[in-house]
Amino acid sequence: RLVYVLNGPNLNLLGKRQPHIYGSETLADVEASCRALAGELGLEIRFHQSNREYEIIDWIHEARETAGGLVINPAAFTHTSVAILDALNTFDPPVIEVHISNVHKREAFRHHSYVSLRADGVIAGLGTQGYGLALRRIAQLIDAKT
Ligand code: DQA
């Protein structure tokens, strides 16, 4: 019941970064609420953020060995990274893609996601609540399998 929660570039500035788009909660707040919810759901989580594409890829590789699911907000790499898609395609358990903002309401370049070609579900525009909803879904999918 281990779940990775991975966050891409610039999300370290959550709360300070364009708060009219991303809200005022920090990534530390998001991590704390994910941890609290994970406790309720009986999940163990590894929560990471990086501005470097390779680190995200390395965490996906690490998750392959141990995790029962993965939640990812790839941030700008969503729209650019074939390498993250390829890494996710080596990972069999459930994957949920999360975007804090509604990417479909924004610039056209945010409408395409490489990661969506692999994700089992996509949440966008529900703010930081999307992370909790994604964890609930992963817990459900893990329960359904066991
Ligand atoms: C984002 C949306 C992306 O387009 C953007 O590059 C981000 C954050 C979101 O959570 O809404 O950095 O993934």
User: ipTM of this predicted complex?
Assistant: 0.99
* pLDDT-above-70 percentage for the chain: 100
Computed on alpha carbons and rounded to an integer, the radius of gyration of the chain in Å comes to 14
Domains of the chain (ranges, CATH numbers): 2-145 (3.40.50.9100)
- Each residue's pLDDT tens digit, 36-91: 999 999 999 999 999 999 999 999 999 999 999 999 999 999 999 999 999 999 99
Burial 52-67 (b: 16+ CB within 10 A, else e): ebeebbebbeebbeeb
The answer to whether the annotation marks 86 as part of a ligand binding site is yes
- Each residue's pLDDT tens digit, 27-45: 999 999 999 999 999 999 9
Distance 146 CA to ligand 1 centre (A): 33
- CB 128 near ligand 1, within 6 Å: no
